[in-house]
Amino acid sequence: MAKKKSSAKGHIVPTTTLIKQPAHIAAHARIKSLAEYKKLHEESLRSPATFWARMAKENISWIKPFKKTLVWREPHAQWFVGGRLNVSANCLDRHLSTERRHKAAIIAEGEPGDIRVITYQQLHTEVCRFANVLKKNGVKSRDRVIIYLPNVPEAAIAMLACARIGAVHSVVFGGFSAAAVRDRVQDCGANFVITADGGFRRGQPFALKPVVDEGISGLEQIRRVIVLRRTGQTTHMQPERDVWWHEEMAGASAECPPASLDAEHPLFILYTSGSTGKPKGLLHTTGGYLLGATLTCKLVFDLKETDLFWCTADVGWITGHSYTVYGALSNGATTFMYEGVPNHPQPDRFWDIIERHRVTIFYTAPTAIRSFIRAGDQWVKKHDLSSLRILGSVGEPINPEAWRWYYEVVGGKRCPIMDTWWQTETGAHMITPLPGITPMAPGSATLPFLGVDPAVVDAKGQPVKRGEQGLLVIRKPWPSMARTIYGDAARYKKTYWSEIKGCYFTGDGARQDAHGNFWIIGRVDDVLNISGHRIGTAEVESALVSHAKVAEAAAVGIPHEIKGQALAVFVTLKQGLTGDDALREELRQHVAREIGAIAKPDKITFTEALPKTRSGKIMRRLLKEIASGNEVKGDVTTLDDFNVLSKLKAIED
Ligand code: 7RM
Q: What is the pLDDT of residue 6?
A: 38
Do the two domains 11-510 and 531-652 of this chain adopt the same fold? no
> Residue 454: which H helix or E strand, with range?
strand 454-457
Q: What is the pLDDT of residue 644?
A: 79
Find out whether 547 and 574 touch, Cβ atoms under 8 Å: no
Which residue's alpha carbon is nearest to atom 13 within ligand 1? 423
Q: Ligand 1: which of 275, 289, 324, 396 to mutate, judged by most atoms within 8 Å of the beta carbon?
A: 396
**CA-based torsion, 611, 616, 620, 621: positive or negative:** negative
| 284-308 b/e (C-beta count within 10 Å ≥ 16 → b) | bbbbbbbbbbbbbbbbbbbbbeebb
Q: What is the CA radius of gyration of the chain?
A: 24
* Helix/strand number for the chain, H first, E second: 22, 32
Q: What is the pLDDT of residue 635?
A: 66
Measured between alpha carbons, how far is 52 from 60 in angstroms, rounded to an integer? 11
- Read off the pLDDT of residues 519-549 as tens digits, 9 standing for 90 and up: 998 888 888 899 989 898 888 988 998 899 9
Superfamily of domain 531-652: ANL, C-terminal domain (3.30.300.30)
**CA-based torsion, 457, 461, 463, 464: positive or negative:** negative
Other CB atoms within a 10 A radius of the CB of residue 107 amount to: 21
Measured between alpha carbons, how far is 641 from 259 in angstroms, rounded to an integer? 63
Distance (angstroms) between ligand 1 centre and the Cα of 399 equals 14
Measured between alpha carbons, how far is 297 from 267 in angstroms, rounded to an integer? 18
Measured between alpha carbons, how far is 638 from 644 in angstroms, rounded to an integer? 13
Q: Ligand 1: which of 508, 523, 533, 535 to mutate, judged by most atoms within 8 Å of the beta carbon?
A: 508
Distance (angstroms) between ligand 1 centre and the Cα of 1 equals 24
Which residue's alpha carbon is nearest to atom 4 within ligand 1? 423
Question: Residue 532 in 3-state DSSP?
Answer: coil
Q: What is the pLDDT of residue 648?
A: 80
Q: Cα dist. 216→174, 188, 196, 595 in Å?
A: 15, 13, 15, 15
* Blockwise average pLDDT, block size 10, the chain, 653 residues: 38 68 93 97 98 98 98 98 99 98 98 98 98 98 98 99 99 94 97 98 96 98 98 97 98 98 99 83 98 98 98 97 98 98 95 98 93 92 98 92 95 98 98 98 97 97 95 98 98 97 96 96 87 88 90 90 93 90 97 93 92 73 86 69 77 68
What are the domain boundaries of the chain? 11-510, 531-652
Distance (angstroms) between ligand 1 centre and the Cα of 322 equals 14
Distance (angstroms) between ligand 1 centre and the Cα of 124 equals 32
Question: Residue 598 in 3-state DSSP?
Answer: helix
Q: In this structure, what are the phi and psi dihedrals at residue 342, rounded to the nearest 5 degrees?
A: -70, -20
Choices 3.30.70.600, 3.40.250.10, 3.40.50.12780, 3.30.1490.20: CATH for 11-510: 3.40.50.12780
Tell which residue, 185, 197, 196, 256, has the closest CA to residue 221. 185
Q: What is the pLDDT of residue 12?
A: 44
Q: Which atom of ligand 1 is nearest to 419's Cα?
A: 18
Q: What is the pLDDT of residue 643?
A: 78
Measured between alpha carbons, how far is 343 from 594 in angstroms, rounded to an integer? 27
Tell which residue, 501, 55, 516, has the closest CA to residue 299. 55
Q: Which atom of ligand 1 is nearest to 534's Cα?
A: 21
Pocket of ligand 1 (CB under 6 A): 272, 318-319, 393-397, 419-424, 445, 506-508, 520, 522-523, 529, 534
In degrees, to the nearest 5, what angle opens at C-alpha 376 toward C-alphas 375 and 377? 140
Distance of CA 19 to the CA centre of its chain: 27
Distance (angstroms) between ligand 1 centre and the Cα of 421 equals 6
Distance (angstroms) between ligand 1 centre and the Cα of 527 equals 11
Distance (angstroms) between ligand 1 centre and the Cα of 440 equals 18
